[in-house]
Structure 1
Amino acid sequence: MKLLLKNREMLLVVAIVALVALIALRFPPFVTPGNLANVYNDTSILIILALGQMAVILTRCIDLSMAANLALSGMVAAMINAAMPGLPIPLVILIVMALGAVLGSINGLLVWKLDIPPIVVTLGTLTIYRGLIFLLSGGAWINAHQMSDAFKALPRTAVLGFPLLSWLSLVIIGIMVVVMRRTPLGRAFFAVGGNPHAAVYTGIDVGRTRFFAYCLSGTLAGLAGYLWVSRYAVAYVDIAAGFELDIIAACVIGGISIAGGIGSVGGAVLGALFLGVIKNALPVINISPFAQMAISGTVIIIAVAVNARAEKRKGRVILRKAEAAHG
């Protein structure tokens, strides 16, 4: 049991399984393979965004503008498609991913070069990006009939029985695992978040590392922007309004420490899935939206408390070892 409590990912797996089992008692069709696959597919965009946010949080920063980046990138994707329906969809995706990276880099530069607190920077850019959507679109919606069939079809295209959106999220999970475990950049994210001063002494540029974290989160937000508008076949100013809270919640629930330096790809994915199960399950068992918000908020507070206790325990262990070494 103690081992289970220490392993955050395993604890989340158990929690998700227990949650699904409880829901099955009230609504058995929820646990059919087809429905569970739909739950994963519904959560895929959140997973992609949580992985980008994870990289930022690991470096002791935060990105409140991810949902606004998604919305602006999604609107641009929809406008490009409406104006040039014959443009290849992969090119549209590359354009909005590049746009997302630029928007993320703005956050990174402001944090790096001007040393402005990340929460202030991204709160400001959140508002700016939302405003830009209105300026670009004039407040108008782009609806399904204005989008090409190819534009709308990509996320829904079935490959081996599953939508391409689900497969894409799995590919990104795999890429992020490699980045975090096998590349100097991934190790730098952890080093900067764990101890920025020590990271400097090892030759890591803290500001540059944070800049790349924001570029990564922006790129994934740009991709998510296309996926969002193509899946739901609509683009408007308030796309994904408030979704940044879900993104951060997924990370926190997954054990990504807001203090930086602690977390994993698996944790971020499981945190997103936990939220996805809650959001998909509560409506089918007739729980009101207000109760859903309260439950989600309670889960976040519990997750933060668990993270804080875990970090305190680690601190005590380090102190005990230091005392023993000097004793």
Structure 2
Amino acid sequence: MSLLKSRDVLLGGAILVLLALIASRFPGFVAPSNLVRVFTDTSPLLILALGQTVVILTRCIDLSVAANLALTGMVCAMLNAAAPGVPVAVILTMAVALGALMGMVNGVMVWKLSIPPIVVTLGTMTIYRGIIFLISEGAWVNAHEMSAAFTDFPRVQILGLPVLAWVGIAAALGMALLIARTPLGRAFYAVGGNPHAAVYTGISVGKTQFWAFTLSGALAGLCGYLWVARYAVAYVDIAGGFELEVVAACVIGGISIAGGAGTILGTILGALFLGIIKNALPVIHISPFWQMAISGTAIIVAVTLNSRKSKGKGRIILRRAQDGALEGAKA
């Protein structure tokens, strides 16, 4: 079994052990109705992590996803408050388009201006947060200002699952098909694995990274509407610091920060792992504010494990090369 597949199995096992430990003290946590609620709560993290996955696969990172979500959510909330009759389908389309546009801004600067992705997305993260304050003047959009259709959509039940959960499932399936069945999905791995070799095969590194940022932005925009509609409030600092959890979900799931390695299943499991921890903390009487510390620690541990495994592979290759040279000298 390959390293990536075994890592997915180990992470899946860790999730089951975690659930068993929680259930040993609080059996109600693993009740089907509660697990549905946990998955629904985790769906925004899952959707954003799927977008972040393709960005990281191309040796980039997008720190602006939470700010993208917040700005799109504020625009959707303000539009609904000003024109309650606008159909939800139109608002959804606008949210995805606006999010994709912000992703394109990141992608163009990385592609055409060759600015490091972390610098670009730190800058746009601040800019997008500033725009939220400018358009809202620091005011909140509250539940009583939103229409019932706007806030009810993510909660509509279909076959026992809310629409928000179904969107998370659809995003996961769609991303899995994109990665496995399309040239663009294969290009994400090629660019991250060996950008120089990718160029020789006719793949544009910059363009591939551009589309990765665009896809990440579109999913962030989608989450913007879903988040605001579900919680029925929009404000400047919405989803503040959420980008850390998004990166943590990817790294815990085995997505290599160096690019070119990881699986969509790993990202899904990473998001579920964090989602279970976040929902379990209040149950076991630990402050939810520890979630940030847990996410940061998880990133460090996961990156350290990835680094040690990579170094181990490098030593084996070197040792084999030395053995070959010695055999040649003896001959």
TM-score (norm: length of structure 2): 0.94
Matched letter for residue 228 of structure 2: V
How big is the alpha-carbon RMSD for the aligned residues of Structure 1 and Structure 2? 1.9
Partner of 1:193: 192
Matched letter for residue 38 of structure 2: V
Partner of 1:231: 230
Aligned equivalents of 2:291, 2:65: Cα separation in 1: 23
Deviation of 1:120 after TM superposition, in Å, equals 0.4
Change (3 A) 1:195 1:139: same
- Displacement over 4 Å in runs of 4+: 2-6, 316-327
Preserved CA contact (<8 Å) 1:101 1:217: yes
3-state secondary structure, aligned to 1:218: helix
Deviation of 1:311 after TM superposition, in Å, equals 2.5
Partner of 1:92: 91
Partner of 2:254: 255
Partner of 1:180: 179
Deviation of 1:158 after TM superposition, in Å, equals 0.2
How is 1:68-147 mapped onto 2 (pairs within 5 angstroms)?
A: 68-147=67-146
Deviation of 1:324 after TM superposition, in Å, equals 7.8
Deviation of 1:317 after TM superposition, in Å, equals 5.2
> Matched residue pairs, number?
326
Aligned equivalents of 2:203, 2:123: Cα separation in 1: 28
Preserved CA contact (<8 Å) 1:46 1:247: yes
How is 1:270-281 mapped onto 2 (pairs within 5 angstroms)?
A: 270-281=269-280
Aligned equivalents of 2:205, 2:261: Cα separation in 1: 16
Identity, % of aligned positions? 66
Preserved CA contact (<8 Å) 1:4 1:10: no
Aligned equivalents of 2:306, 2:80: Cα separation in 1: 44
Aligned equivalents of 2:323, 2:175: Cα separation in 1: 38
Please give the per-residue CA displacement for 1:93-142, whole angstroms capped at 9, x wherever unaligned.
10111000010000000011111110000000000000000111111110
Q: Which has the larger radius of gyration?
A: 2
Aligned equivalents of 1:187, 1:322: Cα separation in 2: 30
Task: Say yes or no: does 1:159 pair with 2:158.
Answer: yes
Partner of 2:295: 296
Aligned equivalents of 1:284, 1:224: Cα separation in 2: 26
TM-score (norm: length of structure 1): 0.95
Aligned equivalents of 1:290, 1:86: Cα separation in 2: 38
Deviation of 1:325 after TM superposition, in Å, equals 8.1
**Higher mean C-alpha displacement, 37-46 vs 23-32:** 23-32
Partner of 2:212: 213
Aligned equivalents of 1:40, 1:55: Cα separation in 2: 22
Change (3 A) 1:173 1:324: farther
Aligned equivalents of 2:202, 2:3: Cα separation in 1: 36
Preserved CA contact (<8 Å) 2:104 2:214: yes
**Higher mean C-alpha displacement, 62-71 vs 80-89:** 80-89
**Higher mean C-alpha displacement, 26-35 vs 121-130:** 26-35
Aligned equivalents of 1:59, 1:285: Cα separation in 2: 39
Partner of 1:150: 149
Matched letter for residue 155 of structure 1: P
| 5+ long unaligned stretches in structure 1 | none
